[in-house]
Structure 1
Amino acid sequence: MAENLTQPTDADVDAFLDSVPDERRRAEGHALRRLMERVTGQEPVMWGPTMVGFGKEHYRYESGREGDQFVVGFSPRKAALTLYGLNSPGGEPDPLMAQLGPHTTGKSCVYVKRLDAVNADVLERLIRRRLEQAAT
């Protein structure tokens, strides 16, 4: 079975965030790091070259594929901040998403154009909810 391409690395999270070219996106990355670190109580880890993750969990699909992934994380991409782990694992949208503010979603990602446009309390609640799900 193929190994996951995205693995935890020893790369420096601050160095990665400091290297983000866009000033606003760089500041948002540092702000998300502080928020997720505070809420999760865990240190950030680089997963691959561009994802900052918090926590670790093992998953196994019905197909038999399995591996490890971070519980919540983000990447300060050029087009949008990409938030990982906030969508409900069962695929059903979390009702809190309607209160988050402007965003779009993919299968496993939430895309935010501006961090200051989303409701920080709701974002924190979504992170906490995901941590609770991962603990069960």
Structure 2
Amino acid sequence: MAEIKTKPTPADVAAFIDAVEPPVRREDAKTACAMLERITGEKPAMWGPSIIGFGSYHYRYESGHEGDMCRLGFSPRKAELVFYMLTDRAGEAGDLARLGRHRTGKSCLYIKKLADVDLAVLEEMATAAWDHMNAKYPA
């Protein structure tokens, strides 16, 4: 089985964010990091080369594949911010409808810039996702 690449690293989160381009993405990353730190009460950590994660949990699939991942996270990619927080929880579709301009993947929320969305809704979604992960994967 291949080694999992997305795992905690000792890389400095602030230095990573300071190097993010373009400048608007850097400022959005600072805002997102502060918001998720406030919601989770966890210090941010780098997971792999580009994900800023909060907390961790252990998962195991029926296939036997298992590993550890951050409970919530985001990545300030060049084209957009990617939030790892979609859980298919009850009410999530309604929250997405109120959020503003975005797109989604299986568990990812893609936002070009935070100015395109309602930050209060994003914060509600992050809080609900954190609560969902804590209930599904108790510490």
Regarding TM over 0.5, the answer is yes
Q: How does 1:1-136 map to 2 (within 5 A)?
A: 1-88=1-88, 94-136=93-135
80-89 or 31-40: which moved more? Answer: 80-89
Q: Distance in 2 between matches of 1:135 and 1:87?
A: 12
Q: Deviations over 1:65-113 (max 9, x none)?
A: 11110011111111111111234279x9533111111100111211001
Percent identical: 47
Is 1:72–1:86's contact at 8 Å kept on the other side of the alignment?
A: no
Q: Which amino acid aligns with 2:8?
A: P
Shift of 1:130: 1.2
Q: Distance in 2 between matches of 1:108 and 1:46?
A: 19
Cα root mean square deviation, aligned: 1.7
Q: Which amino acid aligns with 2:33?
A: R
Q: Which amino acid aligns with 2:106?
A: K
Is 1:6–1:47's contact at 8 Å kept on the other side of the alignment?
A: yes
Q: Distance in 2 between matches of 1:11 and 1:85?
A: 22
124-133 or 29-38: which moved more? Answer: 124-133
Q: How many residue pairs get matched?
A: 135
Q: Which amino acid aligns with 2:16?
A: F
Is 2:87–2:132's contact at 8 Å kept on the other side of the alignment?
A: no
* Residue segments in structure 1 that go unaligned for 5+ positions in a row: none
Q: Distance in 2 between matches of 1:129 and 1:106?
A: 18
* Residue segments in structure 2 that go unaligned for 5+ positions in a row: none
